[in-house]
């Protein structure tokens, strides 16, 4: 990050995000809608790459054949109301949600662990010159991006919340990953 060649990349990324936001607002969207759209792109990329990788491995080993299943796309009034309020809908159980929730919990655990490490450090003044500061900043950004996931896991009481089985599985997988990282 201290290399000056990061500036052109940071500039391009910032200008692209600003252009996308301006375009979204120009066509009648809201900032919250754009922010949720950015989150959904992140969630889709994360889960689709994971599933694509394992599906390809299983296909190469001859264990699976991919199939496309047509599902109903009927929305009830509650789902429509949450859509109008720009709330994320998690209602149905899906392996995709397990991956997203596990990664969100891992980010939260890492942020707490990183902040604990910084607070326990004696030389907090040199934090900005420490390369660990950028990792904490990135982890904090990922936690902010995943706020609707945490809300769906722990705070929401409507039908759009994350199913309890996914909450339990993701907590178990995140704690297992943290325990494995300690050894």
The pLDDT > 70 percentage for the chain reads 84
Q: Which of 25-29, 67-71, 82-86, 111-115 has the lowest mean pLDDT?
A: 67-71
Task: Calculate ∠ Cα 180-172-63, nearest 5°.
Answer: 85
* Residue 12: band (very low, low, confident or very high) from pLDDT cuts 50, 70, 90: very high
* Residue 170: band (very low, low, confident or very high) from pLDDT cuts 50, 70, 90: very high
pTM of the model: 0.75
Instruction: Give the DSSP letter string of 48-109.
Output: HHHHHHHHHHHHHHTS-------------HHHHHHHHTTPPP--S--HHHHHHHHHHHHHHH
Residue-level pLDDT at 58: 84
**Tell me: the pLDDT tens digits for 29-56?**
999 889 888 888 888 888 888 878 888 8
Residue-level pLDDT at 5: 85
* Residue 20: band (very low, low, confident or very high) from pLDDT cuts 50, 70, 90: very high
Crossing angle between the packed helical segments 95-120 and 164-182, to the nearest 10 degrees: 40
């Amino acid at each position: 990050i201290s290399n000056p060649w990061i500036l052109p990349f940071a500039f391009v990324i910032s200008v692209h995000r600003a252009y996308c936001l301006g375009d979204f607002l120009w066509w009648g969207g809201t900032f919250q809608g754009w922010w949720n759209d950015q989150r959904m792109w992140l969630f889709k990329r994360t889960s689709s790459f994971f599933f694509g990788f394992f599906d390809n491995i299983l296909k190469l080993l001859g264990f699976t054949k991919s199939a496309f299943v047509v599902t109903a796309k009927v929305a009830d009034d509650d789902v429509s109301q949450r859509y109008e309020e720009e709330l994320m809908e998690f209602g149905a159980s899906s392996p995709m949600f397990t991956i997203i929730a596990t990664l969100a919990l891992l980010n939260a655990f890492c942020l707490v662990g990183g902040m604990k490490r910084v607070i326990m450090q004696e030389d907090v003044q040199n934090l900005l010159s420490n390369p660990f500061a950028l990792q904490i900043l990135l982890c904090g950004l990922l936690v902010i991006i995943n706020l609707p996931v945490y809300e769906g896991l722990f705070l929401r009481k409507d039908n759009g919340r994350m199913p309890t089985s996914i909450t339990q599985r993701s907590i178990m997988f995140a704690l297992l990953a943290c325990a494995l990282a300690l050894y």
